[in-house]
Amino acid sequence: MSKPFLEVNNLYKSFGGVKAVENVSLNAGMGQIVAVIGPNGSGKTTLFNLISGLLIPDGGEIWLNGQRLDRLPPHKIAALGVTRTFQNVQLFGNMTVIENVMLGRYHHERSGFMRSALGLSRSEERETYAAAERRLKRVGLVEKAEFPALSLSLGEQRLLELARALSAEPRLLLLDEPTAGLNAVETVRLAATIGRIRANEVTILLVEHDMSLVMNIADWIVVLNFGEKLAEGRPEKIQNDPRVVEAYLGQTEVVKTLQTTKERV
């Protein structure tokens, strides 16, 4: 078996004696979609913060394509091809839609986006603009390229954040609840976009509460509960795992989705 593209080994993080992530391990192959699910407070976002370098683990290791990531600062991890989105939309409100996407490419540019914006590299600015347009087309926002970013609906802002993440040309993309605020049409568009991203051999780690989306697009699912890995496997296995259903006890819609067999796309 080939070596996984992403390896998380025995990761541990606590806050004031509270174990947020305890002995969690997971693997993801190149071009694979791995979903991390679990009830609120199960450690999903903490796991993302550890992988992206926003938090330093108390123990364990994180490897990307044979290179160790843990304890590297976030900007060095980003330079290695790790990009993420957040639960709360984080856009530059004083910029246009396309300027937000252009900014996502800054660490790939020879002279940098800000220098290009000052006119020091016109050809690079044109190239970056064209690349940003292509990203906006992928998420269906190209017609609003010159709109102020904050004039978009919340769902559109989510799609813009994804376009900006793609502009960094990631090898590992961390999506933290990308469907939050999206309507049904936007969710379908997002699912199709994620499929196209995976086709370009980008590895995707997905935290998501929309179980229908997870069951339809994930290749592998890791379930966390109280900071520990409760289960992992293919979607059909997770759907039928009584421990997973029990962990979501009280969340009627989630349980209903888990117990309903769905045709995967």
Q: Which residue segments constitute the domains of the chain, with CATH numbers given?
A: 1-81+171-265 (3.40.50.300), 94-169 (no CATH)
> At residue 205, does pLDDT exceed 90?
yes
Give 258's pLDDT tier (boundaries 50, 70, 90): low
Give 6's pLDDT tier (boundaries 50, 70, 90): very high
Q: Are 59 and 14 in contact (CB under 8 A)?
A: no
pLDDT number for residue 124: 73
| pLDDT per residue as tens digits for the range 47-87 | 999 999 999 999 999 999 999 999 899 999 999 999 998 87
User: How far is 142 from 44, CA to CA, in rounded Å?
Assistant: 32
User: How far is 143 from 141, CA to CA, in rounded Å?
Assistant: 5
- From the CB of residue 64, how many other CB atoms can be counted at a distance below 10 Å? 22
> At residue 261, does pLDDT exceed 50?
no
User: How far is 164 from 169, CA to CA, in rounded Å?
Assistant: 9
Mean per-residue pLDDT, 175-201: 86
In DSSP notation, 69-130 reads -TTS-HHHHHHTTEEE--SS----TTSBHHHHHHHTTGGGSSS-HHHHHTTS-HHHHHHHHH
pTM as predicted: 0.85
| pLDDT per residue as tens digits for the range 209-228 | 898 899 999 999 999 999 99
pLDDT number for residue 265: 37
Mean per-residue pLDDT, 121-150: 88
> At residue 36, does pLDDT exceed 70?
yes
Instruction: State both tokens at 187.
Output: 């969710």
pLDDT number for residue 8: 97
Q: What is the mean pLDDT of the chain?
A: 85
Q: Enter the DSSP assignment of 176.
A: E
> At residue 110, does pLDDT exceed 60?
no
- Residue 168: which of 97, 75, 56, 83 has the closest Cα? 83
